[in-house]
Amino acid sequence: MARLVLASTSPYRRELLSRLRMPFETVRPEVDESPLHGETPLALAERLARAKAAVIARREPGAFVIGSDQVAELDGQPLGKGGDRTGAIAQLGAMSGREVLFRTAVCVQREGDPPRMATDTTTVRFRPLSFAEIERYVDAEAAVDCAGSFKAEGLGITLFDAIDSSDPTALIGLPLIITARLLREAGFVLP
């Protein structure tokens, strides 16, 4: 069986990929994730997914490598991870009562083959949130390592009015519908 490598050490992506019931390895891609001047959130997510897959494909010849990245977008600007309690509170406050786009790009690459790329855009409508609600959420669920400072698979779901997506796993960090399709297109045999 061909080797499968996830170019990420994200516990969220690892858990999602494990749902496909295939053995895989995880490798940290060591890619600079700084946005380029004037780069849109969509272009940033796609560039980083492609770079993560490419760097690991060069190091792991013959392996099918999955690179993925997610960028939250508010008013055309990228939102990173909250980083700490203060940052998370500020992010959630900025998103209160607003629509936020989550661009999740996936790239499947095998050394010598062309990269296969696709992107999911999930729209999240946040309900109006009071400062006290935001503080309670941030104190209840440590999500400072997540784009947008929430966990949709946990208590963060209570922050929303609606989610619009073609893939329910995209918002968590790895759209499995897209990932499975790209793997099949690349010649990887799924269970």
- Could you write out the DSSP letters of every residue in 87-102? HHHHHHHHHTTSEEEE
69 is catalytic: yes
Q: How far is CA 48 from CA 14, 51, 125, 144, in A?
A: 18, 5, 25, 20
Q: Which residue among 69, 145, 164, 167 is the active-site one?
A: 69
Measured in whole angstroms, the distance separating CA 12 from the mean position of its chain's CA atoms is 9
Beta bridge pairs of residue 73:
78, 101
H-helix or E-strand containing 46? Answer: helix 41-59
Active site residues: 69
